[in-house]
Chain A
Amino acid sequence: MSSQCRNDFDQALLSGYLDDVLTQQDTQRVRLHLETCTTCSHLVEEMKTTREVTMTSTFATPPDDQWDERPSAGLSRLSFGLGWGILIIWFVASVGFALGQLWSGPESLTEKLLIFSALTAVTLLLLSVLIDRLKRLGSDRYRRIEK
Chain B
Amino acid sequence: MVDRNETVNGVMTLSATTATEDLVRRAQNGETSARDELARENQRAAFLFALHLVGNHDDALDISQEAMLRFFSTLDRFQSGRAVRPWLFAIVRNQARDFWRRSKLRRHESLDESIPDLSRALVDDGDDPEQSAFRREQQARVWRVVSRLPRAQREILVLRDFHDLSYEEIATVLGIPMGTVMSRLHAARMNLRRKYLALASHQAARSDS
Contact = CB atoms under 8 A, between A and B. Distances in A.
B162 A15 contact: no
A146 interface: yes
A11 B57 CA distance: 36
Interface string B107-133: 000000000001001111100000000
B182 A16 contact: yes
A61 B44 contact: yes
A58 B125 contact: yes
A146 to B, nearest CB: 7
Interface string A6-24: 0000011111100101111
Contacts of B167: 19, 21
Contacts of B10: 21-24
A33 interface: no
Interface residues of A, number: 36
Contacts of B139: 53-54, 56-57
Interface string B42-54: 0110011001000
A53 B145 CA distance: 13
A15 B182 contact: yes
What band does the interface of chain B fall in when counting residues whose beta carbon is under 8 Å from A? 35 or more
A140 to B, nearest CB: 12
A12 B186 contact: yes
Interface string B121-156: 111110000000001001100110010000000000
A57 B120 CA distance: 12
Contacts of B186: 11-12, 14-16
Contact of A50 (B57, B187, B192): B192
Contacts of B142: 50, 53-54, 57
A47 B58 contact: no
A57 B135 CA distance: 9
A129 interface: no
Nearest to B197: A1
B161 A12 contact: no
B97 interface: no
B183 A12 contact: yes
Q: Give the dominant DSSP class at A's interface.
A: helix
A38 B51 CA distance: 37
B161 A60 contact: no
A145 B9 contact: no
Contacts of A14: 186
Contacts of B34: none
Interface stretch (B22-30, B60-68, B76-84, B86-94): B60-68
B129 to A, nearest CB: 15
B193 A46 contact: yes
A105 interface: no
A103 B17 CA distance: 69
A74 interface: yes
Nearest to A59: B121
Interface of A: 1, 3, 11-16, 19, 21-24, 43, 46-47, 50-51, 53-62, 66-67, 70-71, 74, 144-146
Interface of B: 9-12, 39, 43-44, 47-48, 51, 57-59, 61-62, 65, 68-69, 72, 99, 102-103, 106, 118, 121-125, 135, 138-139, 142-143, 146, 157-158, 160-162, 164, 166-167, 182-183, 185-187, 189-190, 192-194, 196-197
